[in-house]
Amino acid sequence: MSSIEVKNVVKIFGDDEQKALKLLKEGNTKEDVLEKTGMTVGVNNVSFKIKDNEIFVIMGLSGSGKSTLLRCINKLIKPTSGAIIIDDKDITKLDKKELRELRRKKFGMVFQSFSLFPFKTVLENTQFGLELLDLEKEDMEERAKESLEKVGLEGWEDKYPDELSGGMQQRVGLARALCIDPDILLMDEPFSALDPLIKKDMQDLLLEIYDDLDKTIIFITHDLDEALRLGDNIAIMKDGEIVQIGTSEEILTNSKNDYVEEFVKNVNRAQVLSAKDIMVRALELAYEVDGPNTARYKMNKNGISSIFVVGKKRELKGLVTIEDVTRILEEGETDLSTVLKQTTTVGPDTPLNEIFEDISKMDTPLPVVEDGYLRGIIVKATVLANLS
């Protein structure tokens, strides 16, 4: 794994970058620099940190500087100024040999264009990057086949690119990047050329294999829904600058300016939010050692008509209602388990749009459960509030 820190990075395109840089430091805008010098500011004083094993999404409209920034991170484009720290080493200061070695070991790239060799088979395209590592042919083929299996292309090794759909070709591109086992995966709008359904399939695939990758991913997109779906953190760019960095929830609920607000106003929140984003803490819980009198007292005290029953470590056992508890007390019953009901549960990462049907059918809150333990509950009012 690798941590990344980008510090005050500027990239200017033109004949006299230092002249334009001086103008920026004097407070001139990107437009001012273009008018006075004819030079273009691609990235303007960008700083952020990316944690190990994080999907960090950089998004913005065309011309915002996101792809230029990505290429600065592995120095395919040399920054005009600033530092890029990877594992405590500033790669802007590396010589060509050191940089080549770093790229070979640290970085894998997946581009919007599939960039496959038409005259090579799927297996040969996948193992292409390994040819620089001086491995035996058998080792290269084994690693390439493992990567193809990860992306669902087992059995397609001998096919050629023109025999594959666009989605399958992009899977080959992803397999090729994974094959060299990089610490950092750079993905430049890799799914934007795909049809919507295939695009969603590729997003699902990336999320599916992400937990097993143990890698840091920097993902470029102009699609906010894609950014919100994939990103642990999201940086929104405009005119070469980052205007906001935050989690999906922070971007949606706390837009820093009109530009970000305009981006998020038409987002389908039901597709973006998940159970953990809207769950709340239960007002009160009953424990499996409690009797019906205790359960009824807790419900009456909190003004609730049902209560979840848990074990000592909050393992969910079920739910009891005030009506059932009152009935067994009248019957002289002392065992709460006789009216314990099982209920539908959801996991913390269940999308909100998959919760609607469950919550609409229930007269009780919906429990959010992870590994058998109660993490929170969802009530109808919470769902409606978050959608608004």
Q: Average of pLDDT values for 112-116?
A: 76
pLDDT of residue 277: 78
Q: Average of pLDDT values for 111-126?
A: 85
pLDDT of residue 66: 92
Which tokens is 82 given?
Answer: 């600033």
pLDDT of residue 115: 78
pLDDT of residue 36: 92
- Highest average pLDDT, of 120-124, 362-366, 384-388, comes from 120-124
Which tokens is 189 given?
Answer: 């709008």
- What whole-number distance in Å separates Cα of residue 197 and Cα of residue 267? 18
pLDDT of residue 178: 87
Give yes or no for residue 343 having a pLDDT over 70: yes
- The SS3 assignment for 164 reads coil
pLDDT of 47-67, one tens digit each?
Answer: 999 988 899 999 988 889 999
Contacts of 303 (CB under 8 A, 6+ apart): none
In this structure, of 45-49, 102-106, 259-263, the range with the lowest mean pLDDT score is: 259-263
In this structure, of 75-84, 191-200, 300-309, 319-328, the range with the lowest mean pLDDT score is: 191-200
pLDDT of residue 361: 77
Confidence of residue 159 (pLDDT cuts 50, 70, 90): very high
Instruction: Single out the residue of 276, 232, 234, 277 nearest to residue 53, CA to CA.
Output: 232
Q: What is the 3-class SS of 123-156, one letter each residue?
A: HHHHCHHHHHHCCCHHHHHHHHHHHHHHCCCCCC
- What whole-number distance in Å separates Cα of residue 113 and Cα of residue 120? 16
Q: Average of pLDDT values for 266-281?
A: 73
Confidence of residue 135 (pLDDT cuts 50, 70, 90): confident
- The SS3 assignment for 15 reads coil
Instruction: Give Cα separations from 163 to 127, 167, 190, 263 (angstroms).
Output: 18, 12, 20, 38
pLDDT of residue 1: 56
Give the HSE-up count for residue 152: Cα atoms under 13 Å, Cβ half-sphere.
Answer: 13
Helix 322-330 and helix 292-302, axial crossing angle in degrees, nearest 10: 140
Q: Which CATH number fits domain 277-387: 3.10.580.10, 3.65.10.10, 2.60.40.10, 3.90.550.10?
A: 3.10.580.10
Q: Average of pLDDT values for 364-376?
A: 91
Confidence of residue 131 (pLDDT cuts 50, 70, 90): confident
Give yes or no for residue 279 having a pLDDT over 90: no
Which tokens is 261 given?
Answer: 């607000």
Confidence of residue 383 (pLDDT cuts 50, 70, 90): low
Q: Is 148 exposed, middle or buried (0-12, 13-18, 19+ CB in 10 A)?
A: buried
Order of strands, sheet of 81-86, starting from the edge strand that comes earlier in the sequence: 40-50, 4-13, 81-86, 89-90
pLDDT of 202-258, one tens digit each?
Answer: 888 888 888 777 889 999 998 888 888 888 899 999 999 999 999 887 887 788 888
pLDDT of residue 272: 63
pLDDT of 175-213, one tens digit each?
Answer: 888 888 888 999 998 888 788 778 888 888 888 888 777
Question: What type of residue sits at position 144?
Answer: A
- Residue whose structure tokens are 């919906």: 366
pLDDT of residue 119: 93
Mean pLDDT, the chain, as a whole number? 87
Give yes or no for residue 101 having a pLDDT over 90: no
